[in-house]
Chain A
Amino acid sequence: MAARDLLRVRDLSTRFFTGEGQINAVESVDFDVREGEVFGIVGESGSGKSVTAFSLLDLVESPGQITSGELWYRDEDLAAEFREQRPEAVDGEFVDLRRTSERVRRSLRGPSFSMVFQDPMSSFNPTLTVGEQIAEAVEVQRRASTNPRSTRSRTQGYGLGRMLAGMVLPDSGYVDEDSEAQAVKLLEEVGIPDPAERYDAYPHQFSGGMLQRAMVAQALAGEPDLLVADEPTTALDVTIQAQILNLLDDLQAETGMSIVLITHNLGVIARMCDRVGVMYAGEIVERGTLEEVFEQSVHPYTEGLLGSIPDLDDPAPRLQPIEGSVPNLLDAEMEDRCYFADRCPKAMEKCLDKPPEIECEGEHAAKCVLAETEYHDSRRLPEDYFEEVADD
């Protein structure tokens, strides 16, 4: 149980500066990811889950910007490197990536962090073969390790002339043969039949499920410590969803990496995760272990989410949808109060103030005034609850 933290996210905020105004997509988010665990982030669409994922890898694109926060990542070597130079960015074995340079953050993509995206079809370049794109991911790391100086260089020694030739001639030498062989091996590892042959196929010649496997292979190319999976199964058929989840499970067991799993699907969370954060309107409103959040939920929003899943064992009660929809996160329209108050069945006057995050028991915490009062009541409730279940 004493798994160490791999990543500590503190007060992370990401905003988009659009023509219509400032959008607070991620607002002051805190969470930890431990070694070898699956941390789930669950929420409705538009709650800021994906932007959180992009923020972790520094992939937020203009007009978006990470406006504040710290990303403490545990890496002894990096910490040693920065201890002298920038002592304020180092805390024990942890380094605050936000205080490092963009090149450092880029060099960590692959060997430290990697990502599986929602829609495999649009996340592969349509004009390059799948194999070449995976080999490219291997090659980046190979070049980085053979020549650490060029790790953070702009082109990794892949010069302008080659780049121009590469525009017209596809396979012009960025990828080396070993990397190709490694890519075929990766394809095999993720269960793609005839990997050597499929190497030369283009994305549009793959099925959705196979392409998602290929994307997992690409994400594994740098042997990452942390895999961020953003809705990895949403675009797939139900039967294939299960296959991909099993694949992620197996790979995690094999490599011991951590996974941040982002989904709107509570079933996926329940099946995969050790700990969970529930996101609403850019904030993590409740977090804790899977059991704490699912069985002793405090925040009315989490309760609402759980109440909107059909229960096969007890189909009688009508599903309880949450009334209304997620606010649009436009800064001008966000007042300083609980964002869920409009839709909350238990809203009270206090909710017009911003609720602090209140620690419950263990790791369980919620941003809701009810956490103080109701938590201790709900402590009693489960006993009755479990008795009732036992009676059935």
Chain B
Amino acid sequence: MSLGRFLIKRTVHGVFVVWGVVTVVFGLRFLTPGSPVNAVAPLDASQELRQRIARDLGLNKPLYEQYFDYLFSLLQGDMGYSYLRGIEASTLVLGRVPATVELAVAASFIAVVLSIPLGVIAANRRHEPADYGATLFSLVGISTPNFWLGIMLILVLSVQFGLFPTSGRPLGLYPALALLVTEGAPGGLLRWLHHIFLPAVTLGTYFTALITRLTRSGMLDELGKSYVRAARAKGLPEALVRYRHALRNTLVPIVTVVGLQLGTLIGGAVITEAVFSWPGLGSFLIRSINVRDWPLIQGSLVVIGVSFVLVNIVVDALYAYLDPQVVTE
């Protein structure tokens, strides 16, 4: 099987999963007690409005028709209408995406940049203080609830020392960069960095800890394998043995596990957003659930599910690229 065919296969699988996610989200409406109209209509809706909503939702049609209508409108980017907010759901939902993407990418960046060197140092200095430190950090890091970590960071860095703002996102990365490019003013970007720092550290800590742990044990595992001895036997400098051979192979299991843990990243983003009032999809979803704005809930869930599947396909591609055995098996 070629790499291309492998990716096509994974993509087909991904499409299948997206379809499943959409179906589950559609089905949630029927798992909810009461008529779907209750879920969509504001509490004080008039009888007239309720009837219009029932017609809009196609409740008079057979179930399968409602389902296909839902699928087709989603394909056209239509997520329904928020009667509570009086606006198209897709406008609100998609507007929240950049903030969450920024947060997730910043957290992943912190995690990757810190964890791999940390894990490598720990593996290179096994049974030395650096190793114990990294092990302790990764143990506590994967065991700390991130909302509590966020609160503690706020307590120490914001309340005590006043170094970082406790909440909010005054501007997005895109406008910040635009400012930098058009007017040469770095202020916006700095402001953005200042605000995203604590949320990104909060969200990234779990992954830093997890990948540190995986890198350390993976490096130790790889360094014990015969091919490493064989690489030394041909006179390769130790740095090349460790980084060109062992570390690269350590990335294979890391990518696998991180792929499996992406759900945790997104779930973590939801709660981190709630702690820092970060205006992303997560805090939006929680608020929508609290006010039971059904089209917004559905829309957010679909966007989260689809992006999760997309990222998974990227991870699969990376995995196949790093480990040539995956493709041929």
Which residues of chain A have a CB within 8 Å of any CB of chain B?
54, 57, 59, 61-62, 106-111, 114-115, 117, 119, 122-128, 133, 136-137, 140-141, 144, 153-156, 158, 163, 166-167, 174, 202, 204-205, 215, 218-219, 221-222
Contact = CB atoms under 8 A, between A and B. Distances in A.
B227 A125 contact: yes
B52 interface: no
Interface in B188-232: 224-227, 229-232
B252 A204 contact: no
A156 B325 contact: no
B244 interface: yes
A62 B224 CA distance: 9
B72 interface: no
B248 to A, nearest CB: 5
B240 A156 contact: yes
Residue picked from A125, A137, A156, most chain B C-beta under 10 Å: A125
B237 A117 contact: no
Given A117-B226, A123-B226, A174-B244, A204 B233 contact: no
Contact of A202 (B234, B245, B325): B325
A119 B229 CA distance: 12
23 contacts: A54-B229, A57-B233, A62-B126, A107-B235, A109-B232, A111-B235, A114-B235, A117-B229, A124-B230, A127-B252, A127-B325, A137-B234, A137-B236, A140-B237, A144-B235, A153-B237, A154-B238, A154-B239, A158-B239, A166-B244, A167-B251, A218-B234, A222-B235
Given A117-B226, A124-B227, A163-B244, A137 B249 contact: no
Given A117-B230, A125-B249, A137-B235, 11 more contacts: A117-B233, A123-B226, A125-B231, A126-B249, A127-B248, A136-B234, A154-B238, A155-B240, A166-B244, A174-B244, A219-B234
B225 A122 contact: yes
Given A137-B235, A163-B239, A166-B243, A204 B230 contact: no
Size bracket, chain B contacts: 20 to 34
B20 interface: no
B46 interface: no
B7 to A, nearest CB: 18
Contacts of A61: 224, 229
B57 interface: no
B322 A59 contact: no
Contact of B234 (A109, A158, A163, A166): A109
Nearest to B252: A127
A205 B220 CA distance: 26
A189 to B, nearest CB: 16
A107 B245 CA distance: 19
Contact of B239 (A107, A119, A144, A155): A155
Contacts of A62: 126
B247 interface: yes
B248 A166 contact: yes
Nearest to A155: B239
Given A54-B229, A125-B249, A167-B247, A204 B236 contact: no
B233 A122 contact: no
Contact of B233 (A111, A115, A141): A115
Contacts of A123: 226-227, 229-230
